[in-house]
């Protein structure tokens, strides 16, 4: 999924109990994990959360 700020996204998901693997080598990448859930993020400075068409459906 796109993210404006990978470090900020990592911090957010850590607060929710996820572990976060932040790859800082350009262009950057973020993987967050909790139990069997794994989410992947790539940097996109121009993403607008209000108009972005990307999304994820997570069923627990």
Cis peptide before 27 (omega within 30 of 0): yes
Neighbours of 5 (CB within 10 A): 14
The pLDDT score that the predictor gives to residue 21 is 96
* Beta bridge mates, 20: 32
The pLDDT score that the predictor gives to residue 58 is 77
Q: Tens digit of pLDDT for each residue in 28-43? A: 999 999 999 999 999 9
Taking the domains of the chain in order of start, what are their residue ranges? 2-43
The pLDDT score that the predictor gives to residue 49 is 81
Instruction: Kindly report the average pLDDT of the chain as a whole number.
Output: 92
What is the rounded average pLDDT of the residues 12-21?
Answer: 97
Sheet with 29-34, side-by-side order of all strands: 2-3, 37-43, 29-34, 19-23
> Rounded to an integer, what distance in angstroms lies between the CA atom of residue 38 and that of residue 1?
12
pTM score: 0.84
pLDDT bin (cut points 50, 70, 90) of residue 22 is very high
> Which helix (H) or strand (E) segment is 8 a member of?
helix 6-15
């Amino acid at each position: 999924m796109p993210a404006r700020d990978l470090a900020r996204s990592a911090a957010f998901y850590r607060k929710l109990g996820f572990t976060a693997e932040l790859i800082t080598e350009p262009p950057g990448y973020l993987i967050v994990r909790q139990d069997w859930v794994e989410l992947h993020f790539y940097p996109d400075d121009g993403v607008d959360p209000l108009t972005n068409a990307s999304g994820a459906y997570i069923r627990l």
